[in-house]
């Protein structure tokens, strides 16, 4: 059965998360194969990925990456991706690969 899987990019400039991007695929098979597929396509997907607003406070200031990292360590970063998840109509616990793009450099591994 096919599942929608996502490459999500954190665009980080000068220590701030300034943009999200995402690319979706319909794939079947095991989770390990899907993750490997996403990693393989991470660099190539970036330029064609859909752009999404990054979170900002009431003053329009972007979130520091350090704060995002704390949310991620608690498993709470998924809340920040809700707009992406609803745009691609993914299930409640989607399979994703998050790739940082720091000052223009894609850190795909």
**Residue 54 DSSP class:** P
Q: Coil, strand, or helix at residue 48?
A: helix
What is the H or E stretch that residue 33 is in? helix 31-45
Name the token pair of 71: 């949310």
Q: What is the mean pLDDT of residues 23-30?
A: 94
Tens of pLDDT, residues 45-95: 999 999 999 999 899 999 999 999 998 889 888 889 999 999 999 988 889
- pLDDT greater than 80 at residue 108: no
Which pLDDT belongs to residue 109? 63
Portion of the chain with pLDDT greater than 70, in percent: 99
Confidence class for position 41, pLDDT limits 50, 70, 90: very high
Confidence (pLDDT) at 87 = 94
């Amino acid at each position: 059965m096919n599942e929608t899987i996502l490459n999500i990019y954190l665009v980080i400039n000068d220590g701030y998360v300034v943009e999200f991007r995402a690319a979706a695929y319909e794939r079947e098979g095991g989770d390990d194969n899907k993750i490997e597929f996403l990693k393989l396509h991470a660099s190539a997907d970036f330029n064609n990925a859909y752009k999404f607003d990054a979170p900002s406070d009431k003053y329009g200031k972007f979130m520091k990456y350090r704060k995002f990292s704390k949310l991620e360590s608690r498993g709470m970063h998924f809340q920040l991706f809700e707009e992406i998840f609803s745009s691609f109509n993914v299930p409640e616990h989607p399979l994703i690969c998050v790739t940082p793009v720091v000052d223009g450099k894609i850190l795909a591994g």
